[in-house]
Amino acid sequence: MRPEQETHMLLGLTRLDADRPDAGAPAGLAFEVLGPVRAWHDGVEIDLGTPQQRAALAVLLLAEGSAVPVDEAVERLWGEAAPRSARGVLRTYIYRLRRALEDACPGSDLIEFQTGAYRMRRTGYRLDAAELEDLIGTAEDVRRFDATSARDALRAAMRLWRGEALQGVDAPWLDGRRGWLEQRRVDALISLFPLELAGGEPGPVLHAIADLRARLPTHEKLAELQMTGLWARGERSAALAVFEDVRAALGDELGVDPGPELQALHLRILRAEPAPATPGAAAAPARPAPSELPRDGAVFVGRRREIRAMHARLTAPQPQHVGIAGLGGMGKTRLAVRVAHAAAAAFPDGRLFVQVGSTPVEAVLTRLLVSMGVRAEAAEAPMPERLATWRTLTADLRVLVVLDDVAPGADLAPLVPAGDRSAVIATAQRRVLDLPGVRWTRLEALSTSESVELLAAHAGRDRIAAEEATVRRLAEECSNIPLAVEVAAARLTDRPSWTIAELEQQLLDDLASPVVMQEDCAIVDAPLARAESLLDGEALAALHGLAALIADGQPFTRDWAADRLALDAARATALLERLVDANLLLPLPGRRYRCLTLVAAYARRQAAARGA
């Protein structure tokens, strides 16, 4: 067996015994999410039905015993693209899952329904994700005095994996949980690698680190481990080459430099200082910090200026909080995740990610405390005690907290870490004034060239290059909004025989229609509907009135709007600025404004539907 194969088997990077009966089937009832979503009873697989039905089960399993209200379950499964029949479909999924589990394991009665919410009981079965956390926790508890037991626990954690987490299911909320679970695998490996390096022949372990780094080229902790291991073996040139690789990857993909810890290690190697006697000694952490960031998407276009500015603020000696505001579909969450990954090395004590939405601040604080290792009873104490625990816990730590999709008017000040070395990244439809000390960035549409690049990344560069002028028009008709561009790219992918000109004509027909004509239009409309829902009646009437009069995408002046709306200049200014704050109008120099094509088309449809 080659060294890399030996190491992959040792660390669980490849699973050669994936067939459950051959691997030693667990007795009783067991669920698996660290790979395909599956269930077993005494070694026999239970038929869980369709991928979406399996997704419903995964949503309940990963709620960790908490009740999931029906509307929240719908949101987790379908997001903003939920069909009108979603509640009924969900009810059918739950009925079929209950029947499948009852047939396989009579009397199990695992899925409860109380006061409008579904809940999966926490007892009576095994869940590999829970076992993963238990094994990682065991390793954390014993590693300081029993490195061998810690290593064995982490090896066992790696053997739980059978592929990508939540493989074969697709749901918005599960995408985030998939990223979190995959990050836990990386965290566990980062804890295991130093123990393997310290306990035996480092060559195979360095092969495994290099293999993982090839998939995560901007991961600074992996680079640090590889550099330290090579340095300890006397391979100084190879260690320096790793630094150049990660520096190039960070520059190319994120437009940033390596963090201070990696630069300090690089300087020590350059100076030919003595290497650590034990290869893993320099990098072994006492406890893996929570790292909940979703996976950084492979396709990411533009935003380099914003990334550089926010990265500089977050990695300053005293980090600054940053916020990203903008219309839904502009890519706020993706940008926040990318920036958080780029700055992760500056926050070694934890990178937390919470999708806030309308969740009460008390529940969000409990979630953060649990993520930081606080026991459930303390995390659910009265609010003053919870707040005191959070402030004490974070006073001397370097923690990054990503608060995604913050609702207007939310009081999130209690969620800000107490120390001056921590930071918050917030995303919101509009600026949240109750979040103190945040430097907000308004995220606007991509440039046309960037939209073309995004289309090419999804639909194929050869196809895009064949109709370049039409593609540029198509991007502009999508208002250069990333979500709309990706929907257009999906249409192209689904219709390989279509020309881009045919797709453009379909889009123009959609924009001119008083009703939604294509099913995927609802995906683009959903964030616009949300933005409109935040307007008062006067501002909404102004938007609908302007949309009926303006030429799509063409600027107009304040005075023109005042005249058409029969308002005085002061009142017109106030209304227009409210629409700017809602990101439904773009401000231009000289008291001018512009309404994006998609926003205007949506507003016209809504006005027609209301009989305006």
Indicate if 229 and 202 belong to the same structural domain: yes
Per-residue confidence (pLDDT) for residue 515, from 0 to 100: 54
What is the pLDDT of the chain when averaged over all its residues?
A: 82
Rounded distance between C-alpha atoms, residue 182 and residue 405, angstroms: 22
Residue 20 has pLDDT above 50, yes or no: no
Rounded distance between C-alpha atoms, residue 216 and residue 237, angstroms: 21
Query: Does residue 370 belong to any structural domain of this protein?
Result: yes
Query: Does residue 367 belong to any structural domain of this protein?
Result: yes
CATH of the domain at 321: 3.40.50.300
Residue 169 in tokens:
């299911």
Per-residue confidence (pLDDT) for residue 84, from 0 to 100: 87
Indicate if 435 and 308 belong to the same structural domain: yes
Domain boundary among 486, 512, 538: 512
Residue 368 has pLDDT above 70, yes or no: yes
Q: How confident is the model at residue 420 (pLDDT cuts 50, 70, 90)?
A: confident
Per-residue confidence (pLDDT) for residue 326, from 0 to 100: 87
pLDDT, average across residues 484-490: 80
Among residues 111, 158, 119, the alpha carbon closest in space to that of 136 is found at 158
Residue 605 has pLDDT above 60, yes or no: yes
Domain boundary among 427, 442, 457: 442
Rounded distance between C-alpha atoms, residue 274 and residue 266, angstroms: 13
Q: How confident is the model at residue 15 (pLDDT cuts 50, 70, 90)?
A: very low
Indicate if 265 and 174 belong to the same structural domain: yes
Residue 281 has pLDDT above 60, yes or no: no
pLDDT above 70: percentage of residues in the chain: 90
pLDDT above 90: percentage of residues in the chain: 21
Query: Does residue 346 belong to any structural domain of this protein?
Result: yes
Per-residue confidence (pLDDT) for residue 279, from 0 to 100: 54
Give the least confident one: 229-233, 373-377, 533-537: 373-377
Residue 58 has pLDDT above 90, yes or no: yes
pLDDT, average across residues 439-460: 83
CATH of the domain at 90: 1.10.10.10
Indicate if 476 and 541 belong to the same structural domain: no
Give the least confident one: 110-119, 188-197, 392-401, 483-492: 483-492
Query: Does residue 288 belong to any structural domain of this protein?
Result: no
pLDDT, average across residues 96-125: 88
Residue 278 has pLDDT above 70, yes or no: no
Query: Does residue 292 belong to any structural domain of this protein?
Result: no
Among residues 426, 452, 453, 450, the alpha carbon closest in space to that of 438 is found at 426
Q: Are 208 and 11 in contact (CB under 8 A)?
A: yes
Whole-angstrom CA distances from 437 to 119, 324, 325, 417, 486 are 38, 13, 15, 12, 34
Indicate if 325 and 431 belong to the same structural domain: yes
Exposure class string for 129-165: b at 16+ Cβ within 10 A, else e = bbbbeebbebbbebbeeebeebbbbbbbbbbbbbeeb
Relative to beta strand 556-557, strand 592-594 is antiparallel
CATH of the domain at 254: 1.25.40.10
Residue 348 has pLDDT above 90, yes or no: no
Query: Does residue 276 belong to any structural domain of this protein?
Result: no
Residue 60 has pLDDT above 90, yes or no: yes
Range of the domain at 418: 304-442
pTM of structure? 0.57
Per-residue confidence (pLDDT) for residue 19, from 0 to 100: 41
Number of domains, the chain: 5
Of residues 510 and 325, more confidently modeled: 325
Q: How confident is the model at residue 377 (pLDDT cuts 50, 70, 90)?
A: confident
Indicate if 252 and 238 belong to the same structural domain: yes
Indicate if 172 and 107 belong to the same structural domain: no
In 166-285, alpha helices (H): 172-199, 202-215, 220-232, 236-254, 260-270
Indicate if 391 and 500 belong to the same structural domain: no
**pLDDT tens digit string along 127-184?**
999 999 889 988 888 887 788 899 999 999 999 999 999 999 988 889 888 888 988 8
Indicate if 135 and 266 belong to the same structural domain: yes
Give the least confident one: 20-24, 380-384, 449-453: 20-24
Per-residue confidence (pLDDT) for residue 512, from 0 to 100: 62
Q: How confident is the model at residue 18 (pLDDT cuts 50, 70, 90)?
A: very low
E strand or H helix at 38: strand 38-41
pLDDT, average across residues 239-262: 87
Of residues 425 and 523, more confidently modeled: 425
Per-residue confidence (pLDDT) for residue 275, from 0 to 100: 77
Rounded distance between C-alpha atoms, residue 385 and residue 374, angstroms: 12
Q: How confident is the model at residue 425 (pLDDT cuts 50, 70, 90)?
A: very high
Q: Are 295 and 182 in contact (CB under 8 A)?
A: yes
pLDDT, average across residues 293-321: 84
Q: How confident is the model at residue 23 (pLDDT cuts 50, 70, 90)?
A: very low
CB atoms within 10 A of CB 277: 9
Amino acid at 470: T
Question: Between vectors from CA 158 to CA 157 and to CA 163, what angle results, nearest 5°?
Answer: 125
Q: Are 520 and 484 in contact (CB under 8 A)?
A: no
